[in-house]
Amino acid sequence: MLANIPDNQQKRIVIAGAGFGGLRLARHLSGKDFQVVLIDKNNFHSFQPLFYQVATAGIEPSAISFPLRKIFQGCKNIHVRMARIRKVNSEKNEIETSIGNLRYDFLVLAMGAGNNFFNNPNITKYSLPMKSVGESIGLRNTILNNFEKALNTTDPEEQSALMNMVVVGGGPTGVEVSGALAEMKNFVLPKDYPELDFERMTIYLIETGNRLLGSMSLKSSAKAMQYVKKLGVSVMLNKLVMDFNGDTVFLSDSSTLRSHTLIWAAGIKASSIEGLGEHAITRGNRLLVDRFNRVTGYSNIFAIGDQAYMYETNFPDGHPQVAQVAIQQAKNLAGNFVRLERNRNMNPFTYKDLGTLATVGRNRAVVDLSHLRFQGLLAWFFWMFIHLMAIVGVKNRLLIFINWAYYYFTYDQSLRLIIKPKMRDIT
């Protein structure tokens, strides 16, 4: 079966994935002399850096999601399809999808990354990740449902296990979700559950390295540690989570923690796709690409963002798997497609590191720019501004700003809903 995409005289560029890279590439190619087919398993783009706020009932899922078809209304050369991508057939220049096979002249893999559970079946089964809107809602449901269960148990140890939360991974995501959970514990949950003793609740943040925010400066790392401890988070450094059975967390030093909630923010692995040779795949399941984002061994298959592993002198171990890399690679690749069409040489990609930032709750954030580092209230406002400007859609920005402003003055959210949708897979 063939996917129903009309053929014309234009070269067809198929973009697999509508994350930061795929979406930005499609927008740059809008109106250009190409037929662009954008495929994603969802019909919307999500702003991943704020998934943790959905999980902690800070904002609603729709505020960080935007329909793809609305983004490309009026873009006659962009065709959006909701489908799952299954396999690449490079000999036929086709990809297999859940809606049929699709021919391409150029294929761009921008499917991002998923969770890396390091082949631990129990952690895969019982832990709670946050790599999608669905997973974030699932985490929110679990947290709130555990507190409902805690109300109905008379066993103090079981009650603590239901209330305790263990966050694995001391990077920006782990630090941000720990701070958000600590603020819920300190200001929100005691009002919702006055019958519970919150002295029994502990939020643990576990990091295998010797400091939090290992990719940031020592000053920012130390400040983040100070912030999370002030909020009451119990930080455990130089420890590895070995196993989790849904009730007990087993650590590398043979100690254990009782908790029903293990939040996984400890690593990512590039999304897999069948059909590409082993020579093109490297560590973290990423695809080896040249300086033009061309996948090794293929002349018309490209990869950008989290899926791409590119060597640069300043990044000998590949670029960091962050949004800015995907956005910058998308812009460069769009320009190169135009250059190819005009029989001109492509421009090599060079990553410009714009900096890193993380928030640790109200009035607390750390920012590392190329020549400037600052923390505290100013960093928090800077973090908010950068994230608001990156959101797709004026309405979404306004919704998030209103939610943030309301929470700032009230320390309260109205989104603590246990929602368990049930629907069949339509793809």
Same domain, 215 and 315: no
Q: What CATH number is associated with residue 204? A: 3.50.50.100
pLDDT of the chain along its 427 residues, tens only? 567 888 888 999 999 999 999 999 999 999 999 999 999 999 999 999 999 999 998 888 889 999 999 999 989 999 999 999 999 999 999 999 999 999 999 999 999 999 999 999 999 999 999 999 999 999 999 999 999 999 999 999 999 999 999 999 999 999 999 999 999 999 999 999 999 999 999 999 999 999 999 999 999 999 999 999 999 999 999 999 999 999 999 999 999 999 999 999 998 999 999 999 999 999 999 999 999 999 999 999 999 999 999 999 999 999 999 999 999 999 999 999 999 999 999 999 999 999 999 999 899 999 999 889 999 999 999 999 999 988 888 788 888 898 888 888 787 776 787 877 665 555 5
Last residue of a domain, one of 251, 266, 281: 266
- Phi, psi torsion values for 373, nearest 5 degrees: -135, 135
Q: Is residue 384 part of a domain?
A: no
Same domain, 260 and 277: no
* End-to-end CA, the chain: 15
Contact 128, 135 (CB under 8 A): yes
Tallying the residues shown for the chain, one arrives at 427
Which residues are registered as beta bridge partners of 315?
A: 312
Which structural domain, as residue segments, surrounds residue 92?
A: 11-41+83-115+268-341
Last residue of a domain, one of 321, 341, 361: 341
Contact 1, 24 (CB under 8 A): no
Q: Is residue 208 part of a domain?
A: yes
Chain position carrying tokens 């021919």 = 103
* HSE toward the beta carbon, residue 209, CA cutoff 13 A: 12
Contact 81, 427 (CB under 8 A): no
Going edge to edge, which strands form the sheet with 100-103? 85-89, 94-97, 100-103
DSSP 74-124: T-TTEEEEE--EEEEETTTTEEEETTEEEE-SEEEE---EEE--TT-HHHH
Structurally, the chain folds into a number of domains equal to 2
Same domain, 148 and 236: yes
Same domain, 222 and 335: no
Same domain, 212 and 288: no
Q: Is residue 330 part of a domain?
A: yes
Distance CA 163, CA 17 (A): 37
pTM flag (> 0.85): yes
- How many Cβ atoms from other residues are within 10 Å of residue 37's Cβ? 24
